[in-house]
Amino acid sequence: MSCTATRLAPLSLVSLLAACSVAPPPDSPRAFSDQDTKPVAERTWARRVTSPVTQPTLFESPVVQGEVRPLFIHQNLPKGSIFGGGDFQVYALQLRVPITERLAFIATKDGYIDLNPNAGKDQEGFADVAAGLKFVAFEHKATGILVTPGFTFEVDVGEHQVFQGNGDGLLRPFVSVAWDPSSVPELNVVANVGFSLPMDSAHETQSLDYHGHVSYEVAPGVMPLVEIHGITYTRNAKALAVGFEGGDLINLGASGVAGQTVVTGAVGARFRVNDGLQFGIAWGVPLSDRQDLFKSRLTIDASITF
């Protein structure tokens, strides 16, 4: 991918979002499908549950459906960090393919990273790749409860200049839960918890991550949302003698982070154009005293379902 192409990618996605994010009038065929005219308990989960937007490599929806999801992330780095400020961008593409009605293959991490620190040289390179499976273990549409465990395995094939490619892989089992009550069909609550277990504990840190999402459909296809994320580092590594970590996208293998927690929050919205296309946008900031490498983040995605 050329540097010019990577810098044009977010501009194209933002332009497309601006063109499509205005909700159509209620009688427009782009706002509703036959699913919307059914009682809530009879709708498919894809028409009931709003997918999370932020921390997409960790915060997996419990819904099983086919999806292609291009992503753009712009993260600002704190001035007090080892980078002296600056930023990085991520250009990625997620994929979800149903194997059965309850089982899906998921590819949650890949893409290209453009790192621009204030202290040091700009660097570019490919990210590690993570994929796995998720399975709907419990569903009860009348009460709006969906429970989906799964796992991903991250292969350390990325490039070192953008802090990828260290270690021997990372296994992350997780459980995702959704609640979409039939008494308040506009409301969605999604939660996720996962545990990152490195195959080489000397080069990557071990951590517990947990996430929450609340959204409310205020008009047809318009869903403002609030999300919160936490990462607690449970075991040090030995790769870098530092007291901070890289969060959801980067595992530095830090030696002084065990017992430390970073909490971030985000506000944004999803916009449903039609049955097969949604857009998401959210802005996130730290909520805890610890920031590590997280000053602020913009996340933009497009969800193309099939």
Q: What is the mean pLDDT of residues 75-89?
A: 96
What percent of the chain clears pLDDT 70, i.e. is strictly above it? 87
Q: What is the structure's pLDDT at 43?
A: 79
Are 73 and 299 spatial neighbours (Cβ–Cβ below 8 Å)? Answer: yes
For 288, residues 6+ apart whose C-beta sits below 8 A from its C-beta are 261, 262, 263, 264
Residue 36 pLDDT more than 80?
A: no
Are 186 and 217 spatial neighbours (Cβ–Cβ below 8 Å)? Answer: yes
pLDDT digits (tens, 9 = 90+) for 116-132: 999 999 999 999 999 99
- 47 falls in which pLDDT band (50, 70, 90)? confident
Q: What is the mean pLDDT of residues 38-63?
A: 90
Are 133 and 105 spatial neighbours (Cβ–Cβ below 8 Å)? Answer: yes
Q: What is the mean pLDDT of residues 256-280?
A: 97
- 38 falls in which pLDDT band (50, 70, 90)? confident
Q: What is the mean pLDDT of residues 243-257?
A: 96
CA distance 121 to 229: 30
Helix or strand holding residue 7 (H, E): helix 3-20
Residue 13 pLDDT more than 50?
A: no
Q: What is the mean pLDDT of residues 133-153?
A: 97
All domains of the chain in start order, with CATH: 3-305 (2.40.160.40)
Q: What is the structure's pLDDT at 1?
A: 43
pLDDT digits (tens, 9 = 90+) for 101-121: 999 999 999 999 999 999 999
Q: What is the structure's pLDDT at 28?
A: 38
CA distance 281 to 270: 7
